[in-house]
Amino acid sequence: MRHAKHTFKIGRTGSHNRCLIANMLKSLVEHGRIETTITKAKELRRHADKLITLAKKNTLASRRLAIGRMMVRFNPLTPKEMKQAKQGDFSSYNGDRLVVNKLFGELRERFQSRKGGYTRIVKTGYSVGDQSPKCFIEYLQE
């Protein structure tokens, strides 16, 4: 029997769901607020709160887990780009590296004293094409 087995099935395969959540997590961390459907937002909230909890631990293992959950890709840097990065110029980094730095820097500091509930969902209306309920999911300003 499948009692109390939570699944996120909205007509996609498991791998598609994982990639969808990973991309939405990266966008949420990068922008702080994204617009999506209510079903996706409720599922994303579970993962986004766990991601902040990992960032608050701030260990190498938690950083690697967060990178794995967001499916971050690292492009290899040339020696010139590595030298620039060591001096503080991160313009050669792709967006994924900057997302990890923002998660373990700014967001970790913002939610350090908070015990949980790092996101909120604000309903906005309905989509023009298929009338699906839309909402914003955002990190709280603390």
The string of pLDDT tens digits covering residues 2-37 is 898 888 888 899 899 999 999 999 999 999 999 999
Q: Select from 3.40.50.720, 3.30.200.20, 3.30.2270.10, 3.90.1030.10 the CATH code of 14-31+38-114.
A: 3.90.1030.10
Taking alpha carbons only, the member of 108, 121, 4 closest to residue 57 is 108
The string of pLDDT tens digits covering residues 67-117 is 999 999 887 888 888 888 888 887 767 778 889 999 999 999 999 999 999
